[in-house]
Structure 1
Amino acid sequence: MVRAAFVLGVLASALVHALPLQPASLSRDAPGSVRIQPGSYFIEFVSEPATPASEWEHAQFAQQAAAAGIRMRVRNSFRRLFNGVSIDLHNTRHLRQLAALPVVKRTWPMQMRFRSAAIPSSNVSPNLMFAHQHTGVDRAHAELGLDGTGIKVGVIDTGVDYMHPDLGGCWKTPGCPFQYGSDFVGDGYDSAKTPFPHPGPDPRDTCDGHGTHVTGIIAAHGPKVRGVAPGVTLGVYRIFGCPGNGTGQAADDVILKAMEAAHADRMDVINMSFGGGSGWSEDPLSVAASRLVRDGIVVVASTGNDGANGLYTSGSPGLGVGVINVASFDNWMITSLSINISGPHSNFSIVHSAPGNGKYRFVFENPAEVVAPTDSAGSVEGCAPYNASFAGAILLVKRGNCTFVEKAEHAQAAGAIGVMVYNYDPELMSPTSTSPKVTIPLVVIKSDDAQAILNELKLGTTTAAATNHTMSVSSSTGGQISHFSSWGPDPELQLSPAVGAPGGNIFSTFPLALGGYTSLSGTSMASPYVAGMAALILQSRSGAASVDEVRRLILESARPVAAANSTAMLSPLRQGSGLADVWSSLSALATAEPPQLSLNYTGGAQGSGVQSVRTVVLRNHSPDSAMTLTMTHLAASSVSSYMANGSFAAVPRTWPEAGQPRPDRSTLPSAFIESPALPIRVAPGASQEVAVRIAAPAELDASDGWLYGGYLRFNILWDDRNGTAQSLHVPYAGYLGDYAQADVLAAPDEGFPYISMKGDDGPLAADSRVSIDGAHRVAVHYRLEHPTRLLQLQLVDDANKTQGYLPYGYQEYMGRNYQSSRGRFTNSTINGTLYEDKELTHQVDLRPGAYRVRLAALRPLRDPSDPDGFQIWYSPRFIVDAVSLARNETANALDDAENSDDVFRP
């Protein structure tokens, strides 16, 4: 299998992620991203970390690089989870020399991960307790007395306001919950502007809040917020600076340094509420997380908030082997500050999200007029400037098509004092409008509340007032998967996410300077919930449970939910094993191995009903009672990125379609126990292998790229006097068709790929004549509809001989492009510079002549050494009449801008 070879062998990484990864707390209308730090690299040595050979290699590398006259700055050295260093090169042409040193296995550029913005609110509500009632946490507290005491939990995040009274109000004093941790960056750190961190004395966060919110979900123990495991001992590892310093990035080597510190402090559980995007298990942080798991640490990570962007959006580090990556379910109660609406017909109060910038609260003691204007583009979305003045008004605008910052800037320029953005679904979300230019508050309100305001505006003047009053309302989506929660599978068809937990509308602690409490939404909030559950399980086993045991107990005891308006279950590629229930985990007397089944590609033709047989081992942990088991199959909706007309879309197509009462059984997967014969009886303390035959849907069109799945529910009854019963759920997922033949590039009838002159809308016609200089370049536009392990962009002549790689022309482990207005495709340019080597360090000049662009994308699960494994596209022939050799810094800077966040962000 592809995955294991890479994860166990090397700490592999993407050379360039052409796709952005979203921060794990839902914080912006357009997601954040991962970008490359120019001139900064990871250098991996040959041996495994934490071995005598690795120490020798560190010394040899320094000597060999010095002997070669290579000027570099060593940023960090790694010996625990990764054997190597991170460096800054003064001349990137030296990278190929470093790669050729005997002790070097591999090099790759440094990536910068965007932080997730945190947003303040205030006042109090037992919002988190509603979640505890639905996840068994309340029973674990009340009936078993579990609180995580004796278990060490590490939080790698933005730091924590440890002076918060609900978190202990202390730092490393006797009896204090905070006994471990470091600040790796300092308040002023932003990798884009100050790439070298200046660590602070401790990881106190008074300016962001994300880490304080996450920590509260795990360990708050006050009257206002009670976390899942309030008795744990905490380690806090700060990797982000203050949001006001700019883009808010953290370099991967800073994150890796924090992971190694948590490893050195012997944490029992580590939570990482960041990631997202279209990741790989081979990503550096995923593999480092795999090594933490291998060393006996339970690692929990958020799966990401890219649900609106469809399949293959689970991100790293959550895709590491053995990592519990967590999807988000909406809370059953929304707690937030309120807005009082006064209209011609009625007066009412509504809830709103935390404001997009903590410096500017949505508080208006005196009523202000509400206006729902149309911008200069004729839209109610506020993405263009306004032609009128709205001095002193609060604007009501629709979410979509631009960032919250842009909406706030346009409203502010028109004189508005606040902005209410209404969502296009019934949920709240956590926005961000952090920008030095924005000095007015922006909040999100629910769609039905917005409609009520719009109805009042039709009748006449309507006003809004807002104080510090908090209100709680029931959520119509409580217990359902959050719309923002990312989809699996991973690019190698491993099932993702692993499990789900409450993450939508979670009320928790926040820095005292920012209000003390707030509600946030995101898989960032679901991940610490599961980390707290892991601590409770470890405490119940006196810390002796293995990582595999903890993971199995959490996954198999979860409860899968049905898809909305459907007779089928929600796909495991959205909810994993379902909503976690720690009470069921703690009371489990049986387990199954493996806890999830990835069927890989099935390779069958349409209508063939391809079948797979998998073995599940059921273990009876009762010491004195036999168990009898049967199995029920729960079919889940099949999903595809391709619509009925063959076009690609972000929101997955599902089957059965919503509202269909009785779908034909041949369009659903099926499963049954093949052996042994039913009923199956397992003696006390014994185990039993069960062969399960799973049949793919017979009547779905394999050319549509369907991913099918379901749940094997093992119904178990013990012969004790209490008649103890238990159900275990084992999800499975597979691909209908030959996954290794799946296309990666957009189909030509969707308009991609194509080439054009930079700045022109239309594609170049065959045999067009062009001149290339600093201002005129040929642009290559392509769209990845599926992640690819390797993409190559080369220029070939009329004899099909390669002349060199384009800038950004050799990229590994790429995610797919998202389908929003800002991320539908990726650019590369021909600017007079080509590269002879795949490291893109040895430049050659482009000469006049006839050329074509050769774009090759590796299909899923294929070997990059096999030429037949690539999907290949050739551009029309074009003729370069002249090339300016003045390839100055301006031209190169333009290339960097084209491959920046503005192009790649969805």
Structure 2
Amino acid sequence: MKAPGSTSIQSGAYFVEFHGEPASPECDYEHEQFYQEVKAAGINMRTRNAFKRLFNGVAIDLPNTRNLEQLESMATVRRTWPMQVRTRSVAIPSANVSPNLMYAHQHTGVSKVHSELGLTGQGIKVGVIDTGVDYMHPDLGACWKTPGCPFQYGYDFVGDGYDSGTMPHPVPDPDPRDTCDGHGTHVTGIIAAHGSRFSGVAPNVTLGIYRIFGCPGNGTGQSADDVILKAMEAAHADKMDVINMSFGGGSGWSEDPLSVAASRLVRDGIVMVASAGNDGANGLYTSGSPGLGVGVINVASFENWMITSLKIDIFGKNGNHSIVHSSPGNSKIRFVFDTPTQVVAPIDSSGSINGCAPYTDRYDHQILLVKRGNCTFVDKAAHAQDAGAVGIVVYNNEPDLMSPTSVSPNVTIPLVVIKSDDGQSILSELNFGPVTLTATNGTVSTSNPAGGQISKFSSWGPDPELHQSPAVGAPGGHIFSTFPLDLGGYTSLSGTSMASPYVAGMAALILQARSKNASVDEVRRLLLESAHPKPNANSTIPMSPLRQGSGLADIWDSVSLMATIDPPQLSLNYTEDRESFGNPADSGLDGTKQSLQRGTASDEAIRRLTLFNHSPSSFMTCTMTNLAASSVSSFMTNGSFAATPRTWPEAGSAVAIAADTQPRAFIESPVLPIRVAPGASQVVEVRIKAPSGLSAKDRWLFGGYLRFNLLWDDQSGTAQTLHVPYTGFVGDYTKLDVLSVPEEGLPFVGLKGSPDALEDNVHVAIDSEHKLAVHYRLEHPTRVVKLRLVDDANATVGYLPYGYIEYLGRNYQSERGRFSNSTINGTLYQDADLTRPFETQPGAYRVRIDALRPLRDPNDPEGYQIWHSPRFIIDSVSPPKASPSNVEEAESSDDVVRNGELM
């Protein structure tokens, strides 16, 4: 059974995948045969959804998970996957439209192609799989499926009340209008808004809206993957030209069912665009599914050059001034105070200004100022509300303005965040006397000092198999766009959710410019190769492609390109093993088999690229230079893991940069300069040398950009520059450890609820009140983890609950996802699918963890990193009377890294 450990799982729900290819004659036969086998076996099963277009199989509810092994043994079944759920982000409202998006258009070529080329996306169909849309918004047409209306396709697959955690059976209907969330309305506006004061990237596209999330407040706000897959199939059936998916996240895999379905959409000629994820603070390997599908354009976020924010007017003894604040933490509770309201900064019962403990005094009709940190925004708001406050202002513990994302139906007062300096200024003003504020939904636009830089939240690559991610970047930080009319009409949101539709709109413009005579691969090459790599902040050295992909997208350059290169990205894989470095079987992220040659030395490789001259009448001359980017590592010089990757060269460092600590690249053949005839192509071989001056023990990922300088012999002497990013690993990637080292405190076995590890030969009794917990941390994604009890001869006694997991993402360092666990509760399993339980007998045991190293064969015992716990003795066992799928066995899903948030 495939059991991803990097996401929450719908208990008792599974995908069952059949052997045949989707949309093939085998599908109907295999579906019919499967149901006959299920009926003959007497298995109690409910079909949630059946799939034949993009995925050949069914989604089912299986009340008795012991039947899972029977299903997997059936002739038609290829494998099963547990049902994942995707969690929506909280929508953040604001007020009053602003030309904020126009500043982004000026830096990405959008304004220029609108005004000079007249490109608007006319005739291109774009699908948006999201929370629905408020199609009655005047800037989105205020219409639904009427002649001339942009909205001609769509469906609501869930209904307002749907939530996969509390209401597993959706109530679909044909109307995907969203009046309660806003995420999809915001995304749609970035693509297609056509108001009087600002325009989306492709304002005249035809839209298909596919709603997969219900309203916030109906439980956990999740959607199951079978619902999402139904929406993807509907968009495919409606023949969308481009599909945007602003959801994903976590440490994902290209083998995930949604990634596979997205890959098949690409194969069928649909440009697929997805958000890379908002987990940048957690470091490398945080790009998520479905953006890791083969050929999917997953998008990083750059900061907008202008911030449009809501305004607070502050009144104090020393004068009045205005500050900016974030959007509220609850989309339905807006921060509006028409008359001056007193601001106080009280100390909570713990003696702190953080507001993480209840208050002993009352603050009726006042607004509390508290400092960010030490607890959730919900906790702070709840304590303020209990003390009678009518609002809460949290000042950041960092210089930037950020948006709160916590919400609770029990909190009914508004919460906003302000900058740290503004919070300190209010505290200083309170020393001189009373302070009041008003907030009337006015907005103010200010220059963003970080404009054009990568957003801090934007997720890092690579994927677990070293394919590059993200693919390209676009504006996603502080984007003003449309919002449901009931929630204010407009708002500013930040996320790769905002960057993804920006690129989807660009893809529509390319298709219009080429009269739809452009393949998916060509659209992808045009977007990626025309992008501009950006340097690290306070540096002239380009950021790693694992942070920004090919760089910041520029649609003017995309539609103007007279040449392209295939492939548009190079993933070099590991560099120590000559037999593996440059393996001809490696596939590029674009899905094509790369034509490779093995490097002639252990630290280099040769890659073949094809240059296409699209000019029908002019010769093209080509030269190439190498732009070495920063190398990155998740490990410090002492070997400890760090969430924020360290980089080399370090920004602002006075240390001289030795040439051998940078990657090098040069054209191997043919002889320079290269001339390509009109309409012809030329294969070139590029030799890429890994840094030899970086220590392999530090586990560096290096990279750079091949800059192709192109010149045509036409009358105007047209010159263009294309970039092809490359990445590789210093050392042997297949030898990487996956588990954290015990010196960091994990793995360990201890009494459940205790942070202390057991010492050797400790005696324990297992019953309903006393259990053991196994805690481990993955510092690298892994395809397989096995957790077993073994005896003194190291022979397997049985698998632990949640003891065989495939396709796991790495753990983050945040409190919620810092480790994974399993419980020794008296029940073991004979099989890896955890369907044949038996009772643990008293005796001496160790816990053995096997974690598969990167790119290794799961059937090769030598491919695993192995850890043994200290020996312990179980004196007696009284296991709980519960089903094999009880909550306790699945509890590790609460502690692994989250996945699936709207981005």
Q: Shared topology, TM-score over 0.5?
A: yes
1:269 and 2:242 are equivalent in the alignment: yes
Report how far residue 89 of structure 1 moved. Answer: 1.2
Q: In 1, distance between residues paired with 2:705 and 2:258?
A: 30
Q: In 2, distance between residues paired with 1:902 and 1:811?
A: 14
Q: In 1, distance between residues paired with 2:536 and 2:877?
A: 57
Indicate which of 3, 16, 34 corresponds to 2:4.
16
Indicate which of 584, 599, 608 corresponds to 1:615.
608
Kept after mapping to 1: 8 A contact 2:676/2:682 = yes
Other-structure match for 1:463: 436
The residue type paired with residue 847 of structure 2 is V
Render the CA deviation track for 1:177-196: whole Å, top value 9, x for unaligned.
11111000000001111100
1:180 and 2:153 are equivalent in the alignment: yes
Report how far residue 166 of structure 1 moved. Answer: 0.6
Q: What secondary structure does 1:258 align onto? A: helix
Q: What secondary structure does 1:560 align onto? A: coil
The residue type paired with residue 646 of structure 1 is G
Give aligned-pair identity as a percent: 71
Report how far residue 892 of structure 1 moved. Answer: 4.0
1:594 and 2:567 are equivalent in the alignment: yes
Other-structure match for 1:25: none
Q: In 2, distance between residues paired with 1:79 and 1:892?
A: 32
Report how far residue 895 of structure 1 moved. Answer: 4.0
Other-structure match for 2:765: 771
Query: Unmatched 5+ residue regions in structure 2?
Result: 579-600
1:38 and 2:11 are equivalent in the alignment: yes
**Alpha carbons of structure 1 residues 543 and 714: separation in structure 2 relative to 1, 3 Å:** same
Other-structure match for 2:695: 701
Within a 5 Å distance, the mapping from 1:792-807 to structure 2 comes to: 792-807=786-801
Q: In 2, distance between residues paired with 1:886 and 1:613?
A: 59
Kept after mapping to 2: 8 A contact 1:300/1:325 = yes
Within a 5 Å distance, the mapping from 1:251-650 to structure 2 comes to: 251-603=224-576, 610-650=603-643
- Quote the RMSD (CA, aligned, Å): 1.8
Other-structure match for 2:72: 99
Q: In 1, distance between residues paired with 2:91 and 2:552?
A: 25
Other-structure match for 1:752: 746
Q: In 2, distance between residues paired with 1:222 and 1:810?
A: 53
Render the CA deviation track for 1:123-146: whole Å, top value 9, x for unaligned.
120110100000000011111111
Larger deviation: 398-407 or 159-168? 398-407
**Alpha carbons of structure 1 residues 42 and 600: separation in structure 2 relative to 1, 3 Å:** same
Kept after mapping to 1: 8 A contact 2:478/2:494 = yes
Q: In 2, distance between residues paired with 1:224 and 1:445?
A: 27
Report how far residue 880 of structure 1 moved. Answer: 0.6
Other-structure match for 1:6: none
Kept after mapping to 2: 8 A contact 1:429/1:520 = no
Indicate which of 223, 243, 246 corresponds to 1:250.
223
Q: In 1, distance between residues paired with 2:896 and 2:620?
A: 58
The residue type paired with residue 404 of structure 1 is F
**Alpha carbons of structure 1 residues 892 and 396: separation in structure 2 relative to 1, 3 Å:** same
Q: What secondary structure does 1:245 align onto? A: coil
Q: What secondary structure does 2:534 align onto? A: coil
Indicate which of 855, 864, 883 corresponds to 2:858.
864
1:659 and 2:648 are equivalent in the alignment: no
Q: In 1, distance between residues paired with 2:896 and 2:472?
A: 32
Q: In 1, distance between residues paired with 2:852 and 2:431?
A: 56
Report how far residue 294 of structure 1 moved. Answer: 0.3
Q: What secondary structure does 1:548 align onto? A: helix
Other-structure match for 2:104: 131
Q: In 1, distance between residues paired with 2:797 and 2:458?
A: 44
Indicate which of 809, 815, 830 corresponds to 2:809.
815
Render the CA deviation track for 1:101-127: whole Å, top value 9, x for unaligned.
111111121111111221211112011
Kept after mapping to 2: 8 A contact 1:779/1:829 = yes
1:69 and 2:42 are equivalent in the alignment: yes
What number of residue pairs does the alignment pair up? 876
**Alpha carbons of structure 1 residues 58 and 788: separation in structure 2 relative to 1, 3 Å:** same
Q: In 1, distance between residues paired with 2:706 and 2:885?
A: 57
Q: TM-score, normalised by structure 2?
A: 0.95
Larger deviation: 883-892 or 305-314? 883-892
Q: In 2, distance between residues paired with 1:715 and 1:440?
A: 57
Render the CA deviation track for 1:57-97: whole Å, top value 9, x for unaligned.
11111111011111111000000000110111121111111
**Alpha carbons of structure 1 residues 740 and 171: separation in structure 2 relative to 1, 3 Å:** same
Render the CA deviation track for 1:371-425: whole Å, top value 9, x for unaligned.
3444444554433334444333323333344332222222222332222233344
Render the CA deviation track for 1:310-361: whole Å, top value 9, x for unaligned.
0000000000000000000010111121111223434322222211112210
Within a 5 Å distance, the mapping from 1:708-747 to structure 2 comes to: 708-747=702-741
Q: What secondary structure does 1:64 align onto? A: helix
The residue type paired with residue 505 of structure 2 is G
Q: In 1, distance between residues paired with 2:737 and 2:638?
A: 16
Q: In 1, distance between residues paired with 2:425 and 2:657?
A: 37
Query: Unmatched 5+ residue regions in structure 1?
Result: 1-12, 20-33
Report how far residue 459 of structure 1 moved. Answer: 4.4
Q: What secondary structure does 1:436 align onto? A: coil
Q: In 2, distance between residues paired with 1:674 and 1:513?
A: 61
Indicate which of 869, 874, 881 corresponds to 1:880.
874
Q: In 2, distance between residues paired with 1:780 and 1:593?
A: 47
Other-structure match for 1:4: none
Other-structure match for 2:594: none
Q: In 1, distance between residues paired with 2:893 and 2:735?
A: 31
Other-structure match for 2:784: 790
Kept after mapping to 1: 8 A contact 2:90/2:406 = no
Q: What secondary structure does 1:561 align onto? A: coil
Q: What secondary structure does 2:95 align onto? A: coil
The residue type paired with residue 617 of structure 1 is T
Q: What secondary structure does 2:850 align onto? A: strand
Kept after mapping to 1: 8 A contact 2:90/2:331 = no
Q: What secondary structure does 1:525 align onto? A: helix
Report how far residue 823 of structure 1 moved. Answer: 2.0
Indicate which of 831, 847, 850 corresponds to 2:844.
850
**Alpha carbons of structure 1 residues 677 and 457: separation in structure 2 relative to 1, 3 Å:** farther
**Alpha carbons of structure 1 residues 564 and 35: separation in structure 2 relative to 1, 3 Å:** same
Kept after mapping to 2: 8 A contact 1:833/1:887 = no
Kept after mapping to 2: 8 A contact 1:302/1:327 = yes
Q: What secondary structure does 2:248 align onto? A: coil
Q: In 1, distance between residues paired with 2:276 and 2:358?
A: 36
Other-structure match for 2:775: 781
**Alpha carbons of structure 1 residues 174 and 292: separation in structure 2 relative to 1, 3 Å:** same
